[in-house]
A = this chain, B = another copy of it.
């Protein structure tokens, strides 16, 4: 059963949506507090997020941006703001659908089903700057082609992506590959890192692994444009 989380501050609307979606066979929750919405959403990790733009405290746009940066969860924006520029902005941030309230029940349900269908089998994808990584198989999607990474390389890349631009320690990496930090084989880790670097550059990925002497490693972009 697919799991949908609603982000909507107006109580009546929220309950109506909950009701409608439950009856359509979805498991539904709604965010109750509007602080840390993104964190709440990420920890609930639903199959779909239904997002209003006018919220107390935070901007819906901001939430959408953060969700899209940190996950591959589909976002359906449902709002009463029917300005074209809002729509364009939301789509540009990666929203999967933009509907304006009021909205026919059938249309909403159809769009919800459609988005979910499109995302079938796309959970568990991590996003990099210019690629996607399947966390289960370590299949890497880049430049319209796909490549399977060897398990160790996949695990390493996974850690880097989860950490974002932060520094990753050798312990983190050993933990990811071998499940323990005891008896660290610095050398084996080194070899695996070298292999991943080689793979990344041969695939012309925009991000590179650089070492931070004495501390660990981190992902950076080619020259310009940190976010």
Contact = CB atoms under 8 A, between A and B. Distances in A.
A2 to B, nearest CB: 9
B132 A120 contact: yes
A172 interface: no
Nearest to A2: B144
A42 interface: no
Contact of A92 (B110, B118, B132, B136): B110
Q: Is the interface of A mostly helix, strand, loop or mixed?
A: mixed
B106 A84 contact: yes
Contacts of A96: 114, 118
A207 interface: no
A47 to B, nearest CB: 8
A201 interface: no
A107 to B, nearest CB: 6
Interface string A84-112: 10011001101110000000101100110
Nearest to A145: B136
A147 B138 CA distance: 10
Contact of A146 (B84, B111, B121): B121
A107 B121 contact: no
A134 interface: yes
Contact of A120 (B113, B121, B137, B141): B141
A207 B91 CA distance: 36
A107 B141 CA distance: 28
A122 interface: yes
20 contacts: A84-B104, A84-B106, A88-B106, A88-B107, A88-B110, A91-B110, A91-B113, A92-B113, A94-B114, A94-B117, A121-B144, A121-B146, A123-B144, A134-B146, A136-B147, A137-B147, A137-B148, A139-B139, A139-B146, A139-B148
